[in-house]
Chain A
């Protein structure tokens, strides 16, 4: 029988890349995303000592998205631009991560989306993340969350509409 550590390591091998992707979508920063991945899997290892969730991937996705939103909020309250981020004209530029150039405009959109995601209900955020970030079917999401398919679709539609309204309302 494998130990908790071995099981947790296997889960990391299976889902680590996905967790990183979900975190990066929201944060847009490689090192912030790495921090979130580490936080999530340490929490996962502790969770598995008590009981293993029935849907590990769903658990990881929910915790990752929530953690990334929290990190984003915390970063927003800190000075976001260091000296290194200024070019010659003192124009702040977004950090590039692994060659992916995250432009300032894209960063603003990511900011706005992350903020809007944080304002959704837990159910709406869970369904939207599962559908859009993880490509799950409504049926699979319903099974994961223990909801009916029509309810899941309702959460999805309301979540997307709420995101749209938040994005429209930003200055």
Chain B
């Protein structure tokens, strides 16, 4: 073995990965070449110093829960923010749309009912709803307008019943 070959094997020798056959040749050259011997010894001293830097034999990681708690705080904050935003996006829009539709329907229905009261003769009242005949001089309220509108639109009995029940319950 020559010095160039020795140099090629130096990393494996220092890293403990030299094959047994190569080890014999490597050691043999070291014994014959003072320069290579000195080079190997100085580098081996560094690796040994690094390896023997002391680490406590018993590592009591008593802070484990603290670290996990801290990690959990970092992770759960991100997860809850993500969850909140997800839920908000999930429910906010449909609820908003439903509310808008309901408000529009109620407003339109009431306006139409008010207009109808000034119009043609009223059809026969639905048997499902007891219509209270308001005195002619009584100013129509939303309640009375809705009830009256129902009287003219039997096919909307279900919705009108809901409104009537709602107003009845609220007095």
Contact = CB atoms under 8 A, between A and B. Distances in A.
Contact of A138 (B11, B57, B70, B74): B11
Q: Which of the four size classes fits the interface of chain A?
A: 35 or more
Contacts of A41: 67, 71
B97 interface: no
Interface residues of B, number: 36
Contact of B63 (A34, A132, A154, A160): A34
Given A5-B79, A100-B54, A132-B51, A42 B14 contact: no
Contacts of B49: 109, 113
Interface in B63-81: 63-64, 66-68, 70-72, 74-76, 78-79
A3 B75 CA distance: 9
A49 B61 contact: no
A17 B63 CA distance: 12
Given A41-B67, A113-B49, A25 B15 contact: no
Contacts, number: 111
11 contacts: A4-B79, A24-B56, A28-B54, A42-B67, A46-B74, A97-B56, A106-B54, A132-B50, A157-B11, A161-B43, A163-B50
B50 A113 contact: yes
A157 B57 CA distance: 30
